């Protein structure tokens, strides 16, 4: 009786997990909002918001009475904003199929008329084989273009030799997988790409026996990325995607 009871509990838990896993429809049917959510707030993509509140209150950039400045060098260079400003870093597993599907869908939706040649290229992008690599792509945006200079310079100037020891994926068991290749932003619009080997100690770095994976990178003194992803949520139509 005890064994039967234990088996019943296990089966019940498994059934709950299956029900809890979200099922996604064909990406060719996604709307703009569905695709964007996959890219910014999903099991495979998070948005890290860095907010600067130092200029929320009025503080003149110069004192006309004495002719000297009352602000930092940054304020003089940018001009005062007198409000909080944010930079949004979008961190996504490009090697996860749903991310590539969402990117492709957004490109398709942006076309005014069907483009069979482009659709074929996008399908090739979706089907690309990432059997040997894990790729994390990072893009960013900000409402104030003056605050784009620092991240632009950080991503464009980063070198593998200088960031590899402070850029890694780590699991909930404490094991770390360090960066093997860095590709700065290019004209493809996919942002900076951080490449890791998919296999670790003779087997895939992630599996269902892990609960969490973290991406961490000190791209520069001003750009530090740190996001955690729940492994069980990274199941995509029955397959772990990362």
Mean pLDDT of the chain: 85
Please state the rounded mean pLDDT for residues 4-8. Answer: 47
Q: Report the pLDDT value the prediction gives residue 56, as an integer from 0 to 100.
A: 56
Q: Report the pLDDT value the prediction gives residue 53, as an integer from 0 to 100.
A: 67
Query: Residue 6's pLDDT band (boundaries 50, 70, 90)?
Result: very low
- Per-residue exposure over 62-76, b if at least 16 CB sit within 10 Å of its own CB, e if not: eeeeeeeeebeeebe
Q: Report the pLDDT value the prediction gives residue 55, as an integer from 0 to 100.
A: 58
Please state the rounded mean pLDDT for residues 214-230. Answer: 97
Using the structure block, give the residue that is written with the tokens 């960031």: 163
Q: Extract the runs of DSSP E, i.e. beta strands, from the chain.
A: 45-52, 62-63, 68-69, 85-93, 133-141, 167-171, 176-178, 181-183, 192-197, 199-200, 203-204, 212-218, 224-230, 235-236, 239-240
176-194 residue pLDDT tens: 999 999 999 999 999 999 9
Domain ranges of the chain: 25-240
Residue, of 105 and 18, whose pLDDT is higher:
105
Q: Report the pLDDT value the prediction gives residue 64, as an integer from 0 to 100.
A: 40
71-83 residue pLDDT tens: 344 444 445 556 6
Query: Residue 12's pLDDT band (boundaries 50, 70, 90)?
Result: very low
């Amino acid at each position: 009786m005890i064994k039967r009871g234990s088996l019943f509990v296990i089966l019940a838990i498994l059934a709950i997990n299956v029900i809890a896993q979200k099922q996604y429809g064909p990406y060719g049917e996604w709307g703009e909002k569905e695709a964007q959510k996959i890219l910014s707030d999903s099991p495979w993509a998070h948005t890290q918001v860095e907010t600067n509140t130092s200029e929320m209150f009025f503080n003149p950039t110069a004192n006309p009475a004495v002719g000297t400045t009352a602000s930092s060098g940054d304020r003089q260079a940018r001009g005062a904003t007198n409000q909080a400003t944010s930079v949004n870093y979008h961190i996504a597993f490009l090697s996860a199929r749903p991310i590539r599907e969402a990117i492709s869908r957004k490109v398709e939706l942006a076309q005014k008329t069907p483009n069979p040649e482009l659709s074929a290229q996008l399908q090739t992008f979706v089907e690309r084989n990432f059997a040997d690599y894990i790729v994390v792509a990072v893009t960013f945006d900000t409402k104030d273009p003056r605050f784009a200079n620092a991240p632009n310079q950080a991503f464009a100037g980063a070198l593998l030799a200088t960031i590899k020891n402070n850029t890694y994926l780590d699991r909930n068991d404490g094991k770390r997988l360090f960066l093997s290749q860095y590709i700065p932003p290019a004209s493809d619009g996919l942002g900076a790409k951080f490449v890791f080997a998919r296999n670790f100690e003779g087997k895939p770095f992630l599996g269902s026996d892990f609960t969490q994976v973290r991406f961490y990178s000190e791209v520069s003194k001003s750009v530090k990325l740190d996001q955690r992803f729940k492994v069980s949520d990274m199941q995509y139509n029955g397959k772990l995607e990362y």
